[in-house]
Amino acid sequence: MKSYSEEEIIKGCKRNSRKFQELLYFRYFDKMYGMCLRHTSDKEIAMSVLNDGFLKIFKNIEKYRYDGSFEGWVRKVIYNTLRDYYRKKSNNQRFLEIFENQGNDRNLNNLEYEDILKMIDSLPQKSRKIFVMYAIEGYKHNDISRILNIPVGTSKWHLSQAKEKLRQILQKNEININIKKYK
């Protein structure tokens, strides 16, 4: 099988070639699926978000202008698709409510969604999973306890650890935001 350059694949996708769309999909599938899976607690949701993201990529590939890496552009589209999924899913925006804007220097309004996701990615695996389930997906501690087969107290502890780590990251970056306390 012939190996195609990234530029050839992009041009093929711009021509709406199914062959090149498939090549693009499989070239970035593992990385993008892994990213989606880190931000959801369900493989089906991760796959759905990923496929929605690739559909957006194929529909909007004409907008890619070769300024910056193509992989970075693909990643941004997938991040935005994750953001859109959670916006549609949750009317209460529980994740954003966790942060209290203090109004000094840099604040939450200056953060890109991608920056927030990168901060969440830096959390320890178990704490990240519980943070995502609680703060993004809207599960309660009792539900997390049942799903992950852990005590409720352990779920609360991991959430507390995740929030503390996020607080440290924010302070390190001189971002003045407090993280609300939740029961």
Q: What is the dihedral angle through the alpha carbons of 124, 68, 48, 126, rounded to the nearest 10 degrees?
A: 0
Please report the domains of the chain, with CATH numbers, ordered by start residue: 6-89 (1.10.1740.10), 94-179 (1.10.10.10)
Other C-beta atoms closer than 10 Å to the C-beta of 79 total 21
Rg (C-alpha) for the chain, rounded Å, is 19
pTM: 0.58
| pLDDT (0 to 100) of residue 181 | 46
Confidence at 174, pLDDT banded by 50, 70, 90: low
**DSSP SS3 for 177:** strand
Segment 146-170, tens digit of pLDDT:
888 999 999 999 999 998 898 888 7
Q: Which range is least confidently modeled, 13-27, 84-98, 99-113, 139-153?
A: 99-113
Q: What is the DSSP string of 79-137?
A: HHHHHHHHHHH-SS-HHHHTEEE--SSB-GGGS-HHHHHHHHHTS-HHHHHHHIIIIIS
| pLDDT (0 to 100) of residue 111 | 58
